[in-house]
Amino acid sequence: MRHRRLVEILVGIFVVAGVLALAHLSIGLARREVVRGQGYTVKAVAGVEIGRVARIALTDYQGEVLMSIDGSVKLQADSIASIRTRGLIGEKLIAISPGGDDELLVDGGAIVETEPAVDLEQMISKFVFGKKD
């Protein structure tokens, strides 16, 4: 009987430790909401993450990016959204620079001031071939 109890205790310790490790891995270290699914790009004001890109779609030959932004962040209507790269070869993100408008963006509103991604090759060719274009 004592043997049985010992086995059960050992199994209990093992399973609890394993589940804790798994929880720490997925919630503590990865800090991703398991239920809400994942966003793929972050956006930042002054380098601080304020939300996620929810969806990217093509409408009338123009790219449309649906972003879900932290409700506590107030963005002016003429804020500028630009596609940037983290570091030299990192992933893409959308950086938002605040504008000067009195009007704030509301839920469902759109940012019209945009800036395309910087193309590294174009930049290099500009640099190498001088004023060619």
Partner 1 sequence: MLLDALQKVGHIVLHSLSAVGRMGLFLLQIVVCALTPPWKGRLVLNRIVFIGTQSVLVIALTGGFTGMVLALQGYHALSRFGSDAFLGPLVAMSLVRELGPVVAALMVTGRAGSAITAEIGIMRISEQLDAMELMGLNPFRYVVVPNLLAAMIAMPLLTAMFDVIGIWGGYLIGVRTLGMSGGTYLAEVAQYLEWSDISGGIWKSLTFGVIICWVSCYKGWHAGFGAEGVSRATTQAVVLASVLILVWDYFMTSVLF
**CB nearer to partner 1: pick between 17 and 110:** 17
Residues 2, 4, 131, 132: which binds partner 1 (CB under 8 A)? 4
CA proximity to 75, closest of 41, 110, 121: 110
Q: Under the criterion CB under 8 A, does residue 124 sit at the interface with partner 1?
A: no
Residues 2, 5, 38, 128: which binds partner 1 (CB under 8 A)? 38
Residues 11, 56, 66, 110: which binds partner 1 (CB under 8 A)? 11
Beta bridge partners of 51: 43, 69
**Beta-sheet strand order (sheet of 42-45):** 62-69, 48-59, 42-45, 92-97, 80-85, 113-115
Residues 1, 2, 17, 56: which binds partner 1 (CB under 8 A)? 17
Length of the chain equals 133
Q: Under the criterion CB under 8 A, does residue 117 sit at the interface with partner 1?
A: no
Structure tokens at 39: 């966003």
Residues 14, 66, 92, 109: which binds partner 1 (CB under 8 A)? 14
Contact set for partner 1, span 61-90 (CB under 8 A): 87-90
Distance CA 45, CA 41 (A): 14
Q: Under the criterion CB under 8 A, does residue 120 sit at the interface with partner 1?
A: no
Q: Under the criterion CB under 8 A, does residue 42 sit at the interface with partner 1?
A: yes
Strand ranges in 5-133 using DSSP code E only, listed in sequence order: 42-45, 48-59, 62-69, 80-85, 92-97, 113-115
Least distance to partner 1 from the beta carbon of 132, Å?
A: 29
